[in-house]
Structure 1
Amino acid sequence: MNFTTIKNKIFIFVFLGILVFPWVGGGLLRLFAPSVFEKLSIVETEKRQLQEINAEELMDTGESLSGYIDDRIPFRYSMISWYKQINDAADEKYQIAASKIGQAIYQPVEPSPVVADVPEEVPAQENAPVTEFIPEVEESVQEDPNFYPLAVYQDVIIGREGWLFLYGENEIECYQGSNLLTDEAMASYASKLNELQTICNAKGKQLYIFIAPNKSQVFSKYMPTVEIVNTYKREQRLHAYLTENCSTPFIYPLTECLGAASAYQTYYKYDSHWNHFGALYGTNALYAAMGVEQTDPTQWIVGTGDAEKYELYTYMGMTDDSITHDDTEYIMDYRPEITVNGLNLDAMVCRTTSDGANQSKLCLIGDSFRVNMMPYLSKDFTSCTFAHRDYMTSVKADIKAADIIVIEAVERYDYEAFATVQRTINILSK
């Protein structure tokens, strides 16, 4: 038996062990130490309902069964945490080397003279724990006022003025422009989109693809110093390609978001999402493509309050009592004369009715960026269905009945939008 055969068998046994361990170990622990099992297994890491099995669709796609199992794998959160710790340990040395390379090749740029607006009613202050994760740099480098070292802790980037950004989940690659799509990949996306558009045309439906910009693209002035591989980045290239090769409106409102961010804070300081004020700018970009009336977002501001969004601190393992709640956002009261029934921002599937102006039935399928758009869309359309893309089997009837279908994804997950396109094709083709 040669070395390669032995190595392959070892990898197979290790892989099988990883698959089997959670279920066998979890079963034994639940039997002999139920309190320990409860502590390790039931961790509320996401504010969402666990997926249930949909018996009606079980023999169709099996998506609900797969989601049910994924949500209930014993020690799921513990294993994710272990992976992060191992990955961060291996990444530490790389970050040191990458910072030194960045220092060597970095060309200073003129910083933007405009900073995001922080309402005077709630003065901002720094969260002290952030500084603990910023590496020391040589004095000669510190003399450059534009340089800021790259520091990553638990997959979170420590940015300028205490701002936090995602490092993983394709975010840094999008920011650096290192993950460009091939012409073949873009052609495949265009083919899927054209197929769905043909189906929608035949059924009298309007179709829109909406890609929400990453926070790092919009508030790049707070990002650390890293190499930009391509200034003409993945989403800009994809937008240009699909605009030329597809008739479906492909909305990537980076320009609108950058314009708003020059005067206002439109994304959360310690979370990866846009806030309610920023989401209205994004919704306006969608309305522009639809031909729906747009309004000035500032006219709906009625005050300010705690942003209550500190997701990236949670990623770093910090508890709420160790966080200074210094991020604020505008409180919006959009079209107060309109009544909405059924709006639930925490629901994975939400159906609303209202006395809004647009009589069309709208179905929006997307990710967490859809949430802060929902209060506006639900008031402007009399009938809406909002669904997370993982719950499409629950909204098949809504998709078929919709006059308008919007498929949304954040930039770092743009490929999920086209997976949703394919699933929508499957639903409408039956």
Structure 2
Amino acid sequence: MMSILVMGMGYVGTTTALVFAELGWHVSGVDTNADKIGALRNGKVPFHEAGLEFLLKKHLTEGNIRFFTDPEIAVPEHETIFLCVGTPPRSDGSADLQYVRQATECIGRTMKGYKLIVIKSTVPLGTQQKVVQWIRESQPEPVPFDVVSNPEFLREGSALQDALHPDRIIIGSDTEEAGLRVRSLYGRMNCPVLWTKPMSAELIKYASNAYLATKISFINELARFCDEIGVPVTEVSEGIGLDLRIGKAFLRAGIGYGGSCFPKDVNALLYMGKEQGTELTLLNQVVEVNKSQQAYAISRLESMLGSLHNKTIAVLGIAFKPGTDDLREAPSLAVIARLLEQGAQVRVHDPVAVLPGDLMDGHPRTLRQYQVLEETLERADAAILCTEWDEYRQADWLALKGLMNQAVLYDGRNALDRELLKSWGFEYLGIGRQ
């Protein structure tokens, strides 16, 4: 049976490798991070994502998956190679392709026979062409290969479900044969398959995330207007979402989007537009609305409490969304930073995510993370819900109210029962729910 090599054991790579193992392929994963590979070999996924650890242990036991730390050993053994390495943002918003280049040059140096290279990393337009060039330049002697763009559309917190039951498969290939090879890897998956040129596939990934970010910033800006006129944005978003041309997804007002995809991909698309002399003005506004949403939340809290200096504020949820421990571009971090700037004493709680050590060390007297929700809220002057974990939805808020100095609750995700909380004596603030 043909085996698949996945290069890069981060979030996308680990999920991709385990899903292909679940589909019946023999899979290898390679990453130069020895600690990460050691954890995977021991059945531990180095990040929080429901269902992945179960699959990892299952396929380690069944012998369907193995892991390498040296790509020069792993590459020659496999004909099909998925590139899932990171493409972190540079300071100007552009994507850094150094890890993609390192991986592809390794493939070129070590390949002895035909290779099918599949790019699953999120990469700028024209990267497939660059990968072809980098491999050719690295080959000691010409060996045939194909490079196909096959972007991922995984949502953190539900990545396994998305990977096993995708809503579409995009295959960007220069040749029909290479595209059909990639399609065959997905076997029994029953979903629409779109066949495109590689650059179209690359743009589809960026455009998808940019559009979703646009929906979020739209409803967030509309929520501010709703606060001014006294119209509940929850009713407005529900009415909008019933229009099948619009849909309900990503129309919940909150404190802004975050994570490893939306901020990075929107900024990268803006950078690519500037490179081509095209100003993507709508996306510029999407970014500006998102940046200002946390400041808007703090200003609303100040309207309730007055000065935040020496006030004790509990921040509930720091992961950028429930179901993950990812803090990349998390809106909660901007909220915490603003609270600290105002001189507040900040208490933090999250069921999974942990504040970075350098942030804690920088504020030893004013910032602390607690393991227990009750301890977090004890003697707090207000609480801000930043991540809508079920633990907060299902909490006994009537009992928690008795622990607080002031029963002020800012629901930054519109996740809680406003009327019930108000009936219990809470001063409730939401986004667009004035």
Question: Higher relative CO (CA 8 A, sep ≥ 6), structure 1 or 2?
Answer: 1
TM-score (ref. length: structure 2): 0.29
